[in-house]
Amino acid sequence: MTETPPEETEKAILISDMLRVRDQRDRAAFARLFGHFAPRVKGFLIRAGSDPAVAEDCAQDVMVTVWNKAHLYDPARASVATWVFTIARNRRIDLARRDRRPEPEDLGWGPEPETAQEDGLVLQQESDRLGVALKGLPEAQRELIEKCYFGDLSHREIADVTGLPLGTIKSRIRLALDKLRHAMG
């Protein structure tokens, strides 16, 4: 009789706990998952360049997402570790994007400088062309572009609002941007 390797036993326990969280909202199973993954996620984020305090907060947020999105876990598609670390990776990307946004005090205040009349006309024509191009997009793509660029939401925030998978959102936005680039020439 062959003995099951320890890493296979650990994987089986993690899957079992994740399924208990997914199917029964089992708090004890979640506590075990939290104890296993939270320090590993924090270490992953620190190695990726996050400040330790930010990594701690982000790890907590990732584990809350694991609890809230447990119904989406499918053991046939990914291991528990892959699923959790994908959430952590995406959250790290969201934080990096947020950190790159300018703070209000970094934005210029006061009246805009006067533009030449020709520049204003060109800008108006381009704005009109963009409006027409936006109206030409399929509704699903247009709504995502509006949420992303006019609503200033991250892809993750759009996924949370719409309930669509993150990959679908990214694909639709990428397709819409390609169509807009083509329409704008």
The CATH number of the domain covering residues in 117-184: 1.10.10.10
Question: Residue 28: pLDDT band by 50, 70, 90 thresholds?
Answer: very high
* pLDDT on residue 105: 55
* pLDDT on residue 112: 57
pLDDT in tens, 114-161: 556 666 677 777 877 878 888 888 888 888 888 887 777 788 888 888
pLDDT in tens, 75-112: 998 889 999 998 998 888 888 777 665 555 555 555 55
Q: Is-contact 137 180, C-beta < 8 A?
A: yes
Q: What percent of the chain has pLDDT over 70?
A: 85
Reply yes or no on whether the pLDDT at 36 is more than 70.
yes
Phi-psi category of residue 49: left, alpha or beta, with phi > 0 → left and psi -120 to 50 → alpha = left
What does the domain layout of the chain look like in residue ranges? 7-100, 117-184
Higher pLDDT, 22 or 163: 22
Reply yes or no on whether the pLDDT at 68 is more than 60.
yes
* pLDDT on residue 115: 54
* pLDDT on residue 103: 53
The CATH number of the domain covering residues in 7-100: 1.10.1740.10
User: Which run of H or of E encompasses 69?
Assistant: none
